[in-house]
Amino acid sequence: MLIMSFRKVVYVRYFPLTAKVFNDFYMADVEECGISVEYWDLTEIFFKIGFDQEDSSHLVLTTKFNSYLDLEHAIKENSSPTTLFVSIMTFESRVEKLFRIFTKYNSQISVFGRNMFPLASGKSVSLITRLMRITPAKLIEYFKIKRLKKAKNLNQIKRYDYIFLGGSLGYGGIGNTDYDELKYSKIIQVNSDDYDACLALKNQNSIYSHKYILFLDEYLPLHPDTQLFNIKNISPDEYYPQLCEYFDRVESEFKMPIVIAAHPKALRYKTEDFFNGREVVFGKSAELSVGAEFIIAHDTTSINYPIALDKRIHFISSRNIERGINIVHQNVLHFAKYLGCNFQWFDKNEKINLIQSVPVDNYKRYKYEFQTSPDTEDKMTKDIFISFLKTSVRE
């Protein structure tokens, strides 16, 4: 057994670098401890069209590749026991050629399996609906994945050497990877991003002096991804008035205001009033969750904050959501059942059925399945990751 430190970390992704990715994968922290960091941008290899999005490649040494020939040469030159490749890509058929190159040069490859949360089963949708969703593209991908898994079983494509796992079910965030495959990798327990954010706020007080209720906004009818991916949506002219009427009833019953934790892409909130004068706050979902009396939500991933902070959650949907974007409605029902919280139609004039106390056992189950582990719940992932890089074990 040989004990040594990694001297270089190469992050590989098929999108330009963003500030969030730079921070979420601790690139500055890794550099500060004396380990070389590079970001390899494979966008031009994987996509024929450009992306009108942030490019923060100035934050770290970045190489942009436009051919597999150049990429293979770089992988060959950098593949050594002291260089760790971190894949920031979903494991699917499109990465097959890249992973065959990694296999050829026995590169040390790793991935973060985290930031997952329980989703409603496809069985909640009728068989006819599921059959209608099958497309030629999905069938092609299905058979490509079967071929990819067979290649892994035959050792033609190597598996990950290291998996940084956030919660026992965090591996779902890797892509087409089964639980059985974990036994082939060294598992390093870490936390989800949201759990770390709450851990950093452990001793912080509320940012308000008064009591309030928090709504975790999803920009549901106006989210740009629904247009980009041609996803069916609901009308904002129906959604916001119904939601505000519901908020009026909640505020009247609990005698405290509702504060809106705005979705980061909700740019129209900055110039238009969708919530009848209620306070709208950007970039503070975790901090706002700290002081909230309870949280109202649909199926946002931001529910990770109130779960980590042991806050009551009240899940809501409407008949318009059920008809227009049924997957959101099904996720809402699934979240409420999984966590032991209550569900309510916000477009019906009913008494608010908020749970009286936090369902401790359900929250604990969620935390250990999707957020953290008993060994890491008091540790920051950044510290775990850097400790691993400084003293890694090879056999």
DSSP labels, 89-150: S-BSGGGHHHHHHHHHTT-EEEEEE--------GGGS-HHHHHHT--HHHHHHHHHHHHHHH
Q: What distance, in Å, lies between the first and last C-alpha atoms of the chain?
A: 5
Alpha carbons 289 and 294: distance in angstroms, whole number:
8
SS3 call for 204: coil
The more confidently predicted of residues 230 and 93 is 93
Residue 390 has pLDDT above 80, yes or no: yes
The more confidently predicted of residues 116 and 69 is 69
pLDDT on residue 140: 64
Spans of all domains in the chain: 2-192+372-394, 199-369
pLDDT on residue 91: 84
pLDDT on residue 225: 63
Alpha carbons 132 and 130: distance in angstroms, whole number:
5
Residue 1 has pLDDT above 50, yes or no: no
Which of 279, 254, 256 is CA-nearest to residue 352?
A: 254
Mean model confidence pLDDT for the chain:
89
* pLDDT > 70 fraction of the chain, expressed in percent and rounded: 88
Among 37-41, 61-65, 187-191, 323-327, the range scoring the smallest mean pLDDT is 323-327
Please return the burial class of 301, using the count of CB atoms within 10 Å of its CB with bins 0-12, 13-18 and 19+: middle
- CA atoms lying within 13 Å on the CB side of residue 39: 28
Most confident listed range (46-50, 168-172, 292-296): 292-296
Segment 33-38 mean pLDDT: 95
Structure tokens at 308: 């980590």
* pLDDT > 90 fraction of the chain, expressed in percent and rounded: 68
**CATH class of the domain whose range is 199-369:** alpha beta
Domains 2-192+372-394 and 199-369 share a fold: yes
Report CA torsion sign: 89, 94, 100, 105.
negative
Q: Which of the four pLDDT bands, split at 50, 70 and 90, describes residue 55?
A: confident
Among 63-77, 120-134, 246-260, 347-361, the range scoring the smallest mean pLDDT is 120-134
pLDDT on residue 395: 45
The more confidently predicted of residues 149 and 293 is 293
Segment 152-178 mean pLDDT: 86
**Alpha-carbon distance values, 178 to 173, 191, 310 (Å):** 11, 20, 30
Q: Are 389 and 36 in contact (CB under 8 A)?
A: no
Segment 249-255 mean pLDDT: 97
Which of 256, 160, 147 is CA-nearest to residue 208?
A: 256
Q: Are 185 and 265 in contact (CB under 8 A)?
A: no
Which of 76, 78, 87, 83 is CA-nearest to residue 7?
A: 83
Alpha carbons 387 and 393: distance in angstroms, whole number:
12
- Answering whether pTM is above 0.75, one says yes
**Alpha-carbon distance values, 174 to 111, 150, 163, 249, 343 (Å):** 7, 18, 9, 42, 30
List the 108-113 sheet strands across, edge first: 62-64, 36-41, 8-13, 83-87, 108-113, 162-166, 186-190
Beta-carbon contacts of 277 under 8 Å, excluding residues fewer than 6 positions away, are none
Q: Which of the four pLDDT bands, split at 50, 70 and 90, describes residue 231?
A: low
pLDDT on residue 54: 76
pLDDT digits (tens, 9 = 90+) for 119-155: 766 555 554 455 455 667 667 666 667 777 776 776 7
Kindly state the helix (H) or strand (E) to which residue 69 belongs, with its residue range.
helix 68-78
pLDDT digits (tens, 9 = 90+) for 338-378: 999 999 999 999 999 999 999 999 999 999 999 999 999 99
Give me the CATH code for the 2-192+372-394 domain, please: 3.40.50
pLDDT on residue 175: 78
Segment 162-184 mean pLDDT: 86
Q: Residue written as tokens 């549901």?
A: 220
pLDDT on residue 202: 84
